[in-house]
Amino acid sequence: MNRAFSPFVKSMLLALLAVSATATAVEETKPAHTPAAAVKVDAAKGSTLYSDGDAARGLPACVSCHGAAGNSTIVANPKLAGQHEGYLYKQLVDFTTPERNQAVMSTYAKMLSDADKKNIAAYLAAQVAKPGTAKNKDTIDLGKKIYRGGIAGKQIAACASCHGATGNGIPVQYPRIAGQHQDYTIAQLTQFRSTKADARKNSAPMHTIASRMSDDEIAAVADYIAGLK
């Protein structure tokens, strides 16, 4: 009898031990999480900083380059309206590291606090993106083919598989790219492809993909993306 019970008793004891261990672990980690949860993301503060900058810190207004409500009209400066909050925040953090070292944005990103970055990201994600247009009839078929089907011979996956059929991306990892300025998209793909020390290297999959693309393929897919809605 005793022998038959012992595995059962043993497992009960183990279960009890496991429960008490979990309970202790939960209690121990609780105080460490409380202060972070108390900080609330404030899109209204993000809006003010975006539109006015902060003269006291020497921080320029983002609106001067990225346009009203994040709809940049300057082709070298990305549209930010409607971009995923998590992606925007990640970029503002990455600009403070060698992963995305860019003269202009790295200077400003270092002037923003973590709360500023979160507030601006929340503000921009809530804005409505204005559509763009494809401009080159001759390359639209190639661009569409690459976007939807990738390039089999070069082992390039379809852009749509991560950025979505309409280019709206998938939060949090995959950014929205639909309607973006051709010039900016070309610049980023060229950056991802580059092996220079100061090139954009904050995405391993994008580096692999871009390193297999020719200039013509990059230009074609960038133009197609600009027209995606």
- Which string of b and e fits 70-95 if b means at least 16 CB within 10 Å? bbbeebebbbbbbbbbebbbbbbbbb
Q: Which is nearer to ligand HEC, 10 or 154 (CB)?
A: 154
The encoded tokens of residue 191 equal 């950056």
The whole-angstrom separation of Cα 198 and Cα 216 is 23
The encoded tokens of residue 25 equal 């672990």
Q: Which is nearer to ligand HEC, 13 or 98 (CB)?
A: 98
The whole-angstrom separation of Cα 12 and Cα 4 is 14
Q: Which is nearer to ligand HEC, 78 or 82 (CB)?
A: 78
Q: Which is nearer to ligand HEC, 47 or 202 (CB)?
A: 202
CB of 197 to ligand HEC, least distance (A): 15
CB of 136 to ligand HEC, least distance (A): 15
Where does this chain bind ligand HEC (CB under 6 A)? 59-60, 62, 64-66, 76-78, 80, 88, 90-92, 102, 104-105, 108, 120, 146, 156-157, 159, 161-163, 173-175, 177, 185, 187-189, 202-203, 205-206, 209, 221
CB of 11 to ligand HEC, least distance (A): 44
Going by C-alpha positions, the residue among 191, 189, 3 that lies closest to residue 103 is: 191
